[in-house]
Amino acid sequence: MCQSDSEHVPRPHPPETAKALLAELIQQACDAALTPAWSPPLALRVEVPIHSVGPLAWLRAQPAGRKTYWSGRENEFAMAGLGAADVLMADDAADSPQMLRKMRGVLSPANPGMRYYGGVGFRPASCETPSWRVFGACQFIVPRFELCVRGGRHFLACNIVLWDSEPEAPPCDDILTELDGVCFPGDDGEPAVPAPLARQDNPDQEGWVVKVKQALAAISRGGAEKVVLARESRFSFPSAFDPLALLARLTQEPDRSYHFCFQPSLSAAFIGASPFRLYLRINRYIQTEAVAGTRGRGRSAETDKELSDQLMQSRKDLHDHRVVVSAVRDMLIALCRAVYVDASLNVLRLRHCQHLYCRIQGLLAHTDSDAALLEALHPTPVTCGHPVEDAGRLIEDIEPFKRGWYGSPVGWIGYDGAEFAVATRAALADGESLSLYSAAGLVYGANPQREWDRAEDTIQVFLRALSPTG
């Protein structure tokens, strides 16, 4: 008699049962691995199928501590992480490639579910402020405990990473104590987000006009072909609030977006809902995309089509998109044996805005390419400009604030793949304030007021989440 595949799939367990089973697996894994002959680095992962529990709701229910969240754009994968099994951090951007390569000593086919989650700063000096210093120029983490959704199934997991061959004490007891503190949520209803007291833009509209004119003057002198100028909208609140509650509201939007939260401390969290992929790597296959130009969405099908047609016919936006395509293609050619660009140009329609879009694919020369890919593809013309070095210098001279991780790669790296989003539609929660970032791509002839309006279009998803009705 033949058995169906479903009969071989372990059944999910109630949360407390899954927690008890995970404790047993942790003890068994430590006993088997920590023999006198073991050598560092040591990486272990154990996981247990669990009944359906929302990862974000689970993470919000946990006590204070380091928290990490990531969900894919296609809703094919979500991970909520608590604590840290390993943290790799570089304060100097020059150390980032070496740090990324260090991961290869941990990631292996023996633990296919283990991933490092994190991101990098926009420019070498972008994180040199008190608010951003805790994130570092580059930081990646393997969470201690995860509640993840993979292939439609839920898992409770534990990761163990040891770099020291002679730890002061066996780690198992400490890990089991940490596991005791893991709890499971009840029905908390809608996530509560307090209404902001005030909004302050940096620069304000008057200052924006001045900054845009500075950038356009530099462009006219040949300083760059395109500059992406950003602004910071700081919202103040009556008290500190849970950034994960705001992220929970963002996940309710219908847009296909990556959702992420990196919360290295109680008072600091970088959250976002970005529709833009930097790259997806599956072994040697890589996929990225070129996105440029912005229009709002129409209130009717007719006006929406008019805006879409404007985008497809705009000389400024078409030129902007060609610049992005050319830059991304040239970056990939240096790393790939073959590169393919979609023949047709499309419009990427999101809830509050729409963009010009095309897909770019390639076959990498090597699988161990993530450090090189991040170095080559970041910063992108979409968030920086073109040429990126010239545009980056202008941004540092003109913008009145540090971007931190805004406009940078955030994502994960695993043994046989990686995926990164571009951290647009993003905000930094810092105690009783929330800094929301937006930007506009400037080329010769850009109109300052129109670019302000386009930047405002890109943050509507956040403004909606901050409204009392959500």
Q: Using one digit for the tens of pLDDT, what is the confidence trace for 135-192?
A: 999 999 999 999 999 999 999 999 999 987 666 556 899 999 999 999 998 766 677 8
* Residue 357 falls inside a structural domain: no
3-state secondary structure of 102: helix
Q: pLDDT digit string (tens) for 394-418? A: 999 999 999 999 999 999 999 999 9
* Residue 291 falls inside a structural domain: no
CATH number at residue 90: 3.60.120.10
Residues 278 and 411: their CA atoms lie apart, in Å, by: 9
Q: How many CB atoms lie within 10 A of CB 146?
A: 27
* Residue 70 falls inside a structural domain: yes
For residue 148, give every residue at least 6 positions away whose Cβ sits within 8 Å of its Cβ, in sequence order, or none.
Answer: 55, 77, 78, 79, 80, 113, 154, 155, 157
Which comes out higher in pLDDT, residue 206 or 64? Answer: 206
Position 75 scores a pLDDT of 84
Which comes out higher in pLDDT, residue 351 or 224? Answer: 224
3-state secondary structure of 330: helix
* Residue 377 falls inside a structural domain: no
For the whole prediction, is pTM greater than 0.85?
Answer: yes
* Residue 204 falls inside a structural domain: no
* Residue 126 falls inside a structural domain: yes
Q: Quick one: which H or E segment has residue 376?
A: helix 370-377
Domain of residue 171 covers 8-23+30-180
* Residue 252 falls inside a structural domain: no
- Range with lowest mean pLDDT among 3-12, 55-64, 402-411: 3-12
* Residue 251 falls inside a structural domain: no
Position 1 scores a pLDDT of 37
Tell me how many domains the chain contains. 1
Confidence of residue 238 (pLDDT cuts 50, 70, 90): very high
